[in-house]
Structure formats: C-alpha cells, structure tokens
C-alpha cells in the first residue's frame, strides 16, 4: 500500500504551501517507505509515498502521460493492467507500473473509465489542460481514503486522517465505489452491481462456479515483483486463500522470481485456537510457516499506536487490529512486502454466528448487503491500516468484484445455516471446496466453526483488554459518558478507554463522526439484534456473544466468561484454551 495526499486549490505563498504539503505527506511515510514524490501545478499539489510492489525500479509516482498534461497519484494495485495496456496500443507508457494505465485510460475514455479497473485503488488525477481533477476509490473500499475542505475553498484528499485533519474545516470518509469530479461538482457512484439494490437473488447454487470464481480471484492477486506470503489463522477463509495460492503458485511469474514454496504467517497468544489450527493447515499445504506469539501485555502496550494508525475507536476493530498490527511488523522484518488475507467472506456468506438466527432468507440477504457496504469502516479499515503501518500490503481475494457478483447472485436460502440438514455457517463456500479426489483442506478444518480474529488469537486477549480498561475508567466516568461524548457514547469501560485515546490524537468533530457506531452483537448490524430477544442484553462484538450458537459462548446468566464458569451445554475444557499465560514475543519459522 502507498500513501497519497492531494491538495487542490491551495492558494497563497506557493513555497510555504509546498513545505506544508511535504510535511503532511511525511505523516503517511509508513504506508510507502520506498520513495516520496510531489508534483505541483499552480495551486494543486499531488504527493505520494510509495510502497514498491510492481516495477520497483521505475514506477515512482506521481505518474504522467506522454506529454505531461495528465498527472496521477495512486494507492493500490490494478490486476488487469496488462489487458488494459492492450486496449491502449496507441499510447506510450513511461513505466511498467500497473497504475500507469490510469492516466492513459482517462485520455482515451474521459472520466468514465473507472469501472474498467479491476483491483483495489484510490487515486487523484489532475488534468493540467483545464486544471480539473477527479478522485476515485475502489468498489468496496479496500484502500482507505478521506476527503476534506479548507476554509480557503481547497479540496483535500488523503489516504489517512492524519494527512488532513489539522488543516481542514470539515473532513469525512470518501465513500467506496464513488468518484469526485471537479467538472461535475460533486460525488457520484461508479460502482453499481446487481446486488447493491438488495433485491433477493434466485440463481441456484453451483459449487463449481463459485470455486472457479474464487480461484480466479486468488490467481490474479499473485501479481508481484517482491516477496509475498499469506496470512493464515487456520480458519476457513484464510485457509482457503492459502490452499488456492499454494495450488497455483508454481505456474506464476512470482514463483519464478521467489521460488514455488509459499510462506504463511500466523499470530496468537501461546496455546490459542488459531496457532494450533494454522500450524495444522500449514503442515497439510507444505508452506514455510512463521508463527508469532504475543502476550496480552504486548497488545495492551501497543493500543495507542494501533489507534493512531487505524484511526478508529470502534471496539471490534481495535481488538482485531492489535494482533494484526504486531504480526505485520514481524512479517515486514522478514523482507516480505505483500500478503494475501481472508477478509470479506463472512460478510458475503453470512459467516458471523449471529446469522444462524436470521428469520428468513430475505433478512439474511439484506444483512449481507449491509455488511459488505460497511466493510470499509471495519475489516477493510483494519486489514489496510494495520498492515500499512509497517509498509506491508494486504490483498483480499474474497472482495474481488467478479467473485462478489457470483456469490451475491446465489439464492440466499443456500447460504443459511440449517443444523437439521448438517449445514453450518458458510456452508456454500465449504461445499464448493469439498473435493474428495483432490482435497483443498482437511475436513475438520474445512468445517471448523467461525472464530472472529480477535477471539481466535486467544480468548484471554479480549478478557485482558476489558480488565485493563476497568483499571483506567471509573464507574463515574461511564455514568457521565453521554455528557463528555454525546456522539457514539461509549457504553463500556473498554469503549471509553479507546475513545479517550482516539480523541487525544484526533480531537476534531469530523474525526469522531468518521467512526461508525450503534449497538452490535457478535459484529451484527443494529437491525439484526432484533432477531433474538436475548441479544439486546448482551451487546458485545465478540463471536462468543452469539448465545446458543458459539461453542464457547458467554454464560447466559452472567453475560461474560468468568474463570472456571463454563456453560453446562458446552462440551470440552474451554477454559484450558482461555487461561494460557503467554511468554514474551517469539518467532518460530
């Protein structure tokens, strides 16, 4: 991932403005430590911090067309750039960068070329001929992007809040699947897939069609000129990413450059569910596996850095971002610059455990639509910023545009969990890769119950966070929380603790408005809480809050897991997993 910053219409002393843009752009240097660039045309400034993944030798930005009249600063990867170059045979390219096609597509097709891009991206394009500009963000919002406005009428674009929050009177999240045109005078949505209307699809489930769509999504993301690997938690989603990658890696250009053996990475408290499952999957696939341990104290010590980089006070996101943040640093230290990750499957297939309680297929489908539309505020935000904090790029094949179209066209009755028929959450995805002749994964991994990342790294991680917050937030502070934080008022001591840190870094009202809020159980939307009356009294984003569904659910009578208190209907020694004390951070490869 790179970092982009653009200031358009920044009138005044040009040297002073240039110095300020450079200063703000440096706040994004963690995203792109390989090179910095700044282009100025009149009162418009386009800055770039580069993470070189494709064509490291010559792909520095901002990028220009043949005569220098079109300038673009881009964060992202364009997976179909080679096909697009064939459409642009009359154009001369300055570099081998995948992003070099953007300026030439604009020349050829005007502002309506964005839907031709297959990838993850945020970019600002300046047309010097009339000083007009366009801004666009990828379909789902895999790359982060913000827009702001200065009192002088300037428009600001930044990959992160920290690039613009001090200089804008108002700023907000740039919506995914949208573009901003200075000629048109505002935002418009360029991404209009069939599922966006939330109408209920009726196409029968075809496991082979789904499998092929996902394999294609993974293969196109193996485009790289640098060392890479996969994040492997041992759950279904990351395991499928790793399995498909391992199966197809040998035939790729990347294998010729870096060897045919895949590297996999996992993080957790010692003895956590994810570490054990990931090790088993890695052994099955034959990957070079790297296992990172952290302690609860390591995670707590990193919380302030995590909130600064992730730019949120959402409890779920911070819980899950912290282990990923720590792991990303270790991965980058090994010389790896790109990883594939499993975000998005739970939203597309209703994989969160609360989906078990969906009353009908219509509500099920609408909830998946709402979850996908909100991904840029949650899992995409986490995956993008916790990796970018250390100059690491995360690619997410489940959020491939074509794969989403295939998956979201399936009649949702097939996606619903039905215990009486032996169908658990994400059954359609599991069944698509249940190949007896050439198995992708061991059966018990293929049918392992969903664990949210913040749970799977070790249950005592969340319990430790709650205990730490309770030491710093008093009952009196919670009583008066609505007066201190009237917007998205924190209702728990953990939420209050995160909010205090966030407001110290980002005190503006626009910043607090950029974070989503509302009640949730096990990552649900507020609407889905209505599916079960018991949930309204157990509003916690952990998967264990899905009472009566999760195998390690919180005790119904106490609403939390207390030491030695395991619900009677749950078999096995659950606390033996939860109470392991982890040693210092260690790496096993």
**pLDDT at residue number 567:** 28
Q: Is 88 marked as a binding-site residue?
A: no
Q: What is d(CA 290, CA 329) in angstroms, rounded to the nearest whole number? A: 13
Contact 415, 363 (CB under 8 A): no
Task: Quick: pLDDT tens for 201-235.
Answer: 999 999 999 999 999 999 999 999 999 999 999 99
Summarize pLDDT for 141-178 with one digit per residue, the tens.
Answer: 999 999 999 999 999 999 999 999 999 999 999 999 99
Q: Cβ(365)–Cβ(194) under 8 Å?
A: no
Nearest to 6 by CA among 99, 186, 131: 131
Chain segment 100-136, per-residue pLDDT in tens = 999 999 999 999 999 999 999 999 999 999 999 999 9
pLDDT for the residue numbered 57: 85
User: How far apart, in whole angstroms, are the C-alpha atoms of residue 495 and residue 126?
Assistant: 41
By CB neighbour count within 10 A (0-12 exposed, 13-18 middle, 19+ buried), where does 589 fall?
Answer: exposed
pLDDT tens, position by position, 174-186: 999 999 999 998 8
Mean pLDDT within 439-462: 79
> For residue 503, how many C-alpha atoms fall within 13 Å in the half-sphere facing its CB?
16
Could you tell me the pTM of the whole model?
0.91
466 or 14: whose pLDDT is higher?
Answer: 466
pLDDT score of 338 more than 70: yes
Asked if pLDDT for residue 5 goes beyond 80, the answer is yes
Q: Which residues contact 471 (CB under 8 A, 6 or more apart)?
A: none
**How far is C-alpha 423 from the chain's CA centre?**
28
Q: Decide if 561 contacts 554 (C-beta within 8 A).
A: yes
> Is there a contact between 528 and 552 (Cβ–Cβ < 8 Å)?
no
Closest CA to 439 of 210, 247, 217, 222: 247
Residue pair 101/119 in contact by the 8 Å Cβ criterion: no
Which residues are annotated as catalytic?
Answer: 2
DSSP-assigned beta bridge partners for residue 229: 339
Residues 458-473: what's their mean pLDDT?
92
Lowest-pLDDT choice from 70-84, 352-366, 510-524: 510-524
Asked whether residue 341 is marked as a ligand-binding residue, the answer is yes
Q: Tokens 């990867």 identify what position?
A: 77
User: What span, in angstroms and rounded, lies between the C-alpha atoms of 356 and 230?
Assistant: 29
pLDDT in tens, 498-528: 999 999 999 999 999 999 998 877 678 888 8
Residue 556: band (very low, low, confident or very high) from pLDDT cuts 50, 70, 90: very low
Whole-number Å distance between alpha carbons of 337 and 51: 8
Identify the three-state secondary structure at position 148. strand
Residue 490 has pLDDT above 80, yes or no: yes
CB atoms within 10 A of CB 386: 25
Could you tell me which residue, 432 or 54, shows the higher pLDDT?
A: 432
- Identity of the highest mean pLDDT range in 20-34, 519-533, 551-565, 572-586: 20-34
Q: Read off the pLDDT of each residue in 194-204 and give the average, rounded to a whole number.
A: 97
Q: Average pLDDT, whole number, for the chain?
A: 90
Q: What is the DSSP letter of 386?
A: H
What pLDDT shows up at residue 90?
92
Q: Is the sign of the CA dihedral 353, 355, 358, 361 positive or negative?
A: negative
Region 560-588 average pLDDT = 29
Residue among 230, 48, 57, 15 at smallest CA distance from 124? 48
83 falls in which pLDDT band (50, 70, 90)? very high
Q: What is the pLDDT of residues 17-54, one digit of tens each?
A: 999 999 999 999 999 999 999 999 999 999 999 999 99
Q: In residues, how long is the chain?
A: 589
- Under the phi-then-psi rule, with left for phi > 0, alpha for psi from -120 to 50, and beta for the rest, what region is 279? alpha
> What CA–CA distance (Å, rounded) separates 47 from 45?
6
Q: Which residues of 210-246 are buried (b: 16+ CB within 10 A; e: fewer)?
A: bbebbbbbbbbbbbbbbebbbbbbbbbbbbbbbbbbb
Instruction: Report the distance separating Cα 548 and Cα 554, nearest Å.
Output: 9
Report whether 267 belongs to an annotated binding site. Answer: yes
Of 511 and 353, the structure prediction assigns the larger pLDDT to 511
Whether 12 shows a pLDDT value over 70: the answer reads yes
- Measured CA angle at 268 (ends 266, 272), to 5 deg: 115
pLDDT at 549: 62
pLDDT classification of 389: cutoffs 50, 70, 90: very high
Please state, in angstroms and rounded to a whole number, the distance separating the CA atoms of residues 241 and 217.
10
Between CA 36 and CA 8 the distance in angstroms is 19
The answer to the question of whether 98 is labelled as a binding residue is yes
> Would you state the pLDDT for residue 258?
86
């Amino acid at each position: 991932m790179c970092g982009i910053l653009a200031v358009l219409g920044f009138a005044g002393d040009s040297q002073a403005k240039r110095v300020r843009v450079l200063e703000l752009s440096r706040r994004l240097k963690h995203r792109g430590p390989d090179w910095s660039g700044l282009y100025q045309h009149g009162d418009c400034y386009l800055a770039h911090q580069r993470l070189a993944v494709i064509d490291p030798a010559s792909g520095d930005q901002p990028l220009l067309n043949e005569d220098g009249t079109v300038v673009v600063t881009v964060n992202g990867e364009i997976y179909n750039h080679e096909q697009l170059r064939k459409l642009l045979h009359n154009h001369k390219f300055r570099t081998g960068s995948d992003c070099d096609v953007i300026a030439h597509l604009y020349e050829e097709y005007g502002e309506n070329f964005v839907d031709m891009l297959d990838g993850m991206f945020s970019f600002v394009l300046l047309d010097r001929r009339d000083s007009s500009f366009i801004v666009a963000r990828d379909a789902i919002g895999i790359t982060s992007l913000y827009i702001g406005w200065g009192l002088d009428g300037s428009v600001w674009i930044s990959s992160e809040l920290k690039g613009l929050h001090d200089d804008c009177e108002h700023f907000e999240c740039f919506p995914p699947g949208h573009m901003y045109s200075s000629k048109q005078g505002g935002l418009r949505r360029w991404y209009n897939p069939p599922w966006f209307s939330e109408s209920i699809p009726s196409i029968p489930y075809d496991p082979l069609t789904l499998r092929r769509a996902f394999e294609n999504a993974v293969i196109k993301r193996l485009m790289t000129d640098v060392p890479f690997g996969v994040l492997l938690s041992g759950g279904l989603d990351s395991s499928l990413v790793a399995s498909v990658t391992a199966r197809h890696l040998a035939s790729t250009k990347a294998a010729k450059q870096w060897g045919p053996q895949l590297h996999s990475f996992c993080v957790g408290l010692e003895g956590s569910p994810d570490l054990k499952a990931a090790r088993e999957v890695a052994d099955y696939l034959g990957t070079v596996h790297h296992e990172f341990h952290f302690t609860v104290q390591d995670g707590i010590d990193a919380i302030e850095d995590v909130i600064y980089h992730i730019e949120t006070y959402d409890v779920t996101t911070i819980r899950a971002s912290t282990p990923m943040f720590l792991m990303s640093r270790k991965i980058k230290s090994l010389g790896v610059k790109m990883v594939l990750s499993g975000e998005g499957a739970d939203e597309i297939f209703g994989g969160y455990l609360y989906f078990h309680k969906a009353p009908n297929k219509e509500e099920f489908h609408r909830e998946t639509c709402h979850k996908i539309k909100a991904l840029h505020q949650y899992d995409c935000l986490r995956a993008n910023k916790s990796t970018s904090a250390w100059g690491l790029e995360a690619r997410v094949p489940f959020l491939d545009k074509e794969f989403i179209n295939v998956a979201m066209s399936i009649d949702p009755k097939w996606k619903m969990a039905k215990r009486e028929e032996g169908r658990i959450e994400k059954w359609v995805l599991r069944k698509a890769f249940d190949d007896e002749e050439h198995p992708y994964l061991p059966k018990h991994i293929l049918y392992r119950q969903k664990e949210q990342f913040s749970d799977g790294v070790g249950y005592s991680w969340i319990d430790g966070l709650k205990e730490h917050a309770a030491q710093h937030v008093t009952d009196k502070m919670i009583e008066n929380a609505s007066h201190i934080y009237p917007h998205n008022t924190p209702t728990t001591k953990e939420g209050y603790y995160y909010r205090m840190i966030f407001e110290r870094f980002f005190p503006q009202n626009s910043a607090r408005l950029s974070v989503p809020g509302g009640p949730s159980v096990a990552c649900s939307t507020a609407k889905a809480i209505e599916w079960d009356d018991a949930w309204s009294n157990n509003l916690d984003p952990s998967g264990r809050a899905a009472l009566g569904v999760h195998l390690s659910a919180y005790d119904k009578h106490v609403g939390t897991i207390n030491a030695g208190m395991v619900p009677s209907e749950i078999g096995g020694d659950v606390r033996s997993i939860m109470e392991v004390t982890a040693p210092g951070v260690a790496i096993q490869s």
